[in-house]
Amino acid sequence: MKRNPRFFLDLYALCAFSRPYFAPVFALAVPLVLGACAQPGQITGGQQDKTPPGVVRTSPKSPAKGMKDTRIVFYFDEYIKAPAAYGKEVFISPLPAKAPKITLLNRKLRVDFRGKLRDSTTYVVTIQGIADNNAGNKMIQPYTAAFSTGATLDSMVVQGSVTNPDGGPAKDITVLLFDEDSAAQDNIAKKLPAYLGKTDDAGKFRLPYLRKAAYRIYGMKDTDSDNRYTAADELLALADTNLVAFGPADTLRTVRLTAFRLDAKAPQIRAAKWTDAYTLAVSFSEPPVLDSLRVLLSDTLGGDARTIDEITVAPTKEGEVLFHTHRDKTRFSQLTLTNLRDSVGNRQDSVLRVPPNRMRALTSVLLVPPQADPSGNLVCWLPAWLDSIPRSRITVTDTAGAAIPDVALRWQDYALTITRPAKMPEGPLRLNVPSGLVPEFAKGKDSTYRFPLVFNDPGKQGKWGGSLVVEGYEGPIVLVVGSGKGGSKGRGDDSGGGATYLAFDREFSFPSITPGKYSVSVVLDTDGNRAWTPGSLHPYRMPERILRAEAIDVKAGWEMGETTLTVGLSATKTRGK
């Protein structure tokens, strides 16, 4: 605080007049005080506050019986910030009919029930995630207080954990406990549970002071904070068996739940374009299951109808399918798809009207030029169904036109695979495709299109192979080696746009891996569809487990050798031989 020098002169005069013996002392003290005030210095704040707030007591004292008051007060050891909303930092079980009023008064947090409390009921008030007012430190552990309106306290406990499919902790998951008869046939949509709790950062939860009864347990990511499972896009958590019951001598039940995002949508048609006069490319929101799909092409009145049997997955992007049709691109057509479904069973029927001439202009006789696949071979795609063209006219030669004898060509639908020669020739190789094989290029003089074939240099690629051991599981698997993060619907990988290598047998070999860092995981493919299958509420089904293994770092020219990769429900080991 700044003082005018006149203040000290007046004070000196007063002391000298009333107490003359104070004058010499005061005359010496004033310069020292003024000098100290004039000294520059740096203000220090002391040690940083890293201590979270804690509850020191409650009123009434917890646990309490025979409670009549509708107000509960929590006393903290320091000033705190007001909770964001009821149901997030403060929640009550069983849920009251109306949300309570929460008031912050200095270090006190007051919870006022609105309305009458139920008779002979134990109420559990849980507080978690409250932050202090100074440094924003949050409570590490939730605080639970119990108050009974009757003469006894309920004493049953349900505790456990919620994990992601790969075993990692799922935090901030609301755990819902329903009375058994109120969740018949797993019908929990928009229903209020009997009790609820939340997982901490480690995915752990604890529901104490429960009445002895049979319950059904679920978990969800309560995005709208209404304590109800209301939307199919909310994260859902299920247990192997959702029934929780207490035996005559039981007081504690431990449950593990697995969280996943529910897949409830069938594939949607996004676009359709002609790739040539008789081939229609249809894009879907996700890859459809083709073995059960029935496709009918007709005119817009249903005439000239034929079933399309020649169907293949397109190479240009995920979710695109090629249909080889009997009607050409110059006419209006109607495409009827029956039993259009995804890998988890979501289905619908769909009808698409295709205007004429919506054709992608072909700039090459190949839809996709030769590209390397994970095995080290090259794959290219033609816009014509390969069974309908003379294959002998497609050749692999050197630049002088000499045939390469040990190069094999494999044909499937629209795809042509060129195998890597056992001994690479010194000069460059070419793929020769006559334009007359494709109707769009058959007009005018026939010519041959030549495409350079560039196989990956083994010295610049990595190799990895070996055997997979899954302890305690003998069913189908999917080994996923991915370089990205994220994931796509219906798949067990985390590729997210990076290179991904898949194996479906316990003896695996990746002879040509692009250098980089890769995550390794194993999908327990219990339904055998060669993809990760999420869980479902109707019918009740757990998501397929994903076991994470140690990541690998592939170097150019690197060969790990024979590896025994051992994964189990609790540990993963990688051992090279």
At 526-568, the pLDDT tens digits run: 988 888 888 888 788 899 999 998 888 888 887 776 788 898 8
Question: How far, in Å, CA of 355 to CA of 117, rounded?
Answer: 66
Helix axes 23-38, 5-18, angle to 10 degrees: 160
Instruction: With cut-offs at 50, 70 and 90, classify the pLDDT of residue 508.
Output: very high
- Of 263, 255, 341, 338, the C-alpha closest to 538 is 263
Assess whether pLDDT exceeds 80 at residue 524: yes
Q: What is the CATH number of domain 279-354?
A: 2.60.40
Question: How far, in Å, CA of 239 to CA of 243, rounded?
Answer: 9
Share of the chain above pLDDT 70, in %: 82
Q: What is the CATH number of domain 459-576?
A: 2.60.40.1120
At 193-239, the pLDDT tens digits run: 888 888 988 999 999 999 999 999 999 998 877 778 876 667 899 99
C-alpha 461: how far from its chain's center?
30
Question: How far, in Å, CA of 87 to CA of 198, rounded?
Answer: 10
Q: What is the CATH number of domain 63-148?
A: 2.60.40.1220
* Cis preceding linkage at 434, omega within 30: no
Q: What is the CATH number of domain 156-261?
A: 2.60.40.1120
Averaged confidence pLDDT in the chain: 81
- Which one of 2.60.120, 2.40.160, 1.20.120, 2.60.40 gives the CATH number of domain 368-455? 2.60.40
pLDDT number for residue 104: 92
- Supply the DSSP symbol for 116: P
Answering whether pTM is above 0.75, one says no
Mean pLDDT in residue range 499-528: 88
Q: Please answer whether residues 532 and 478 qualify as being in contact, where contact means their C-beta atoms are separated by less than 8 angstroms.
A: yes
